[in-house]
Amino acid sequence: MTTRRKPLFERLKQGLEEGIDHARGELSLRTITVPEAPPEIDGKTVAALRAQAEMSQAVFARMLNVSTKTVQSWEQGVRTPSDASRRLIQVFSQHPDVFSRMVGLPAITLKGVRIQDQPSGRRRIVVERSKKRTKATVNS
Give the tens place of pLDDT for each residue, 25-66.
888 878 888 899 999 999 999 999 999 999 999 999 999 999
- Paired strand residues for 86: none
Find the CATH number of the domain harbouring 55. 1.10.260.40
In a domain, 132, yes or no: no
Quickly state the pLDDT bin for 134 (edges 50, 70, 90): very low
137 vs 64, higher pLDDT: 64
| Mean per-residue pLDDT, 108-125 | 93
pTM: 0.72
In a domain, 32, yes or no: no
In a domain, 117, yes or no: yes
Give the CA distances from residue 62 to residues 65, 111, 129, 131, 135, in Å, rounded to whole numbers and listed in that order: 5, 22, 25, 30, 37
In a domain, 89, yes or no: yes
Q: At what angle do helices 68-75 and 57-64 cross, to 10 degrees?
A: 110
